A and B are shown apart, each in its own frame.
Chain A
Amino acid sequence: MTRFSGWNVLWQGMTGQKGWSRQWRDPQPKSHYDVIIVGGGLHGLATAYYLASNHGIRNIAVLEKSWLGGGNAGRNTTIVRSNYARPGNREFYEHSLKLWENLSHDLNYNVMFSQRSHIALLHSPGAIDGAARNYNTMRLTGTPDAEIWDLDRLKQAVPHLNYAPDARFPIMGAAVQTRAGTARHDAVAWGYARAADQLGVDIVQNCGVTGIVREAGRITALETPRGRITAGKIGFSVAGNTSRLWTMAGLGRLPIESHKLQAFVSEPLKPLLDQVVVFGMGGSHFYISQSDKGGMVFGGDLDWYKSYAQRGNLPIVQDVAEAAMSVMPCLGRVKLLRHWAGVVDMSMDGSHFICRTPLDNLYLNTGWNYGGFKASPASGWWFADLIANDRPAPMIANFDLKRFERGLQIDERGAGPDPKLHG
């Protein structure tokens, strides 16, 4: 496999781009691996990469039922930030952001990470006070770039918002994280896949797990259309499909529900918006950024009812369009290019699970709700650490399935135990 470098790009440019090799192998699955990760999304691929690079485990497979990165990895709105305030989340997402900052170098793959700022609009004095409290906590605990902006500063940075006093929700200020931004989601999947493959990881596509063979407290084999495969340790990392695998493994219930979330992209425009802008008021929710190709990438809330179908509905299109018009009226005549949906695993408190399970050799990574893209590097890092060392590190100590029994909810939104309310 060719290593990417300035020199290499130049050389290939002069020789007709004919010397590139394929980015990862397409191996036949072996009959046994030391570790199998089920699910070739970002979390699965990152886990395999860190298992190989941080822990020296080399006999690893990632089994993906369709094509690599075809789940939420390729469907999200690509926002990366670490402005979380709850203990546990705060350290975790900041660690992830630090990994993002060096990811292109680490993987030798340009993931187009762009630290263009994440701007959350504030519409009342109470909201400003609440944000100031959270952002001060972040500044005091290792997230240095959390700022509260007044209206003048915001108007200078983002001129196209609706600042009119008769706006549906007049803007009073903003909570801003300046190191936050976006990355190209496909590139992240490809970068992790390529780097893991280079370390010997078998990435097997079109190889979904269709059955699970169990003996007492262990999984002894996984059934796939490409044969029965055994493994020392198994990690589940399948986003919205966790409950189906969990049932296949003969395990009971989980604190998650599968919901779908839609996203949208417009026709390409000239540069219009330099940052990620987020708006949330009452039942209305809207986030938007501009891709490097010029398309406005945006989304809103879940469809509000449980679903495993990767297709959306029209009421949300209307909701999102209304929110867009109240925040950025200049989008009114912009044409929609595409619109799609992904199935996400919504947890009971809005936070994730990276933990051991009732089965000895099964490990679980789930509950990313609709904010798990930014988490991918740290999620892979700590899931690999858990699988390799068989104990939760302090960073993930509370991200286990028993936290509700202990009376702990890591509820960033304060929405209570209702999955559809955690954004």
Chain B
Amino acid sequence: MIRIPCPFCGPRDHAEFSYGGDGSITYPALDAPLEAWHDAVFLRVNICGRQVETWQHVHGCRLWLKVERDTMSHEIYSVTPADPALAKVLEGGE
């Protein structure tokens, strides 16, 4: 079982979370060219090692989180709220 330290709820088993997918993808603007959408929807780097991904704490605070995890060792390096504004507040910024 992977333990994910949720910034709001503390460390919890990964079974409490739902896996979102590759967190390195930024979806293009709605009117961006088709190729940009094709790449974002269908193509993946598929890293073996440290990757950024999204998880939702469905059985806890229900927030979407950005998790930095090793896809081979399953070690977790960092967990922050996926919403940048919320992440900033937690860091003690504005």
Contacts and interface: CB of A to CB of B under 8 A. Distances in A.
Contact of A404 (B38, B46, B47, B55): B38
Contacts of B74: 307, 309
Contact of B46 (A256, A304, A417): A256
B8 interface: no
Interface string A245-269: 0010000111111100000000000
Contacts of B53: 305-306
A307 B51 CA distance: 11
Nearest to A255: B42
Interface in B1-40: 1-2, 13-15, 18-19, 21-22, 35, 38-39
B44 A256 contact: yes
A307 B71 contact: yes
Contacts of B19: 304-306, 420
A234 B73 CA distance: 30
Contact of B43 (A255, A304, A314, A418): A255
B56 to A, nearest CB: 12
A309 B1 contact: no
B73 to A, nearest CB: 7
Give chain B's interface residue range (CB within 8 Å of chain A).
20 to 34
Nearest to B16: A315
A418 B20 CA distance: 10
A258 B46 contact: yes
Interface string A358-390: 000000000000000000000000000000000
A304 to B, nearest CB: 5
Given A306-B22, A309-B71, 16 more contacts: A244-B48, A252-B43, A253-B43, A257-B46, A304-B18, A306-B46, A307-B72, A308-B71, A309-B74, A313-B1, A314-B1, A315-B13, A404-B42, A405-B35, A419-B44, A420-B19
11 contacts: A243-B44, A244-B48, A254-B43, A254-B46, A255-B44, A258-B48, A307-B74, A313-B2, A315-B13, A417-B42, A420-B21
Interface of A: 241, 243-244, 247, 252-258, 304-309, 313-315, 348, 404-405, 417-420
Interface of B: 1-2, 13-15, 18-19, 21-22, 35, 38-39, 41-48, 51, 53, 55, 71-74
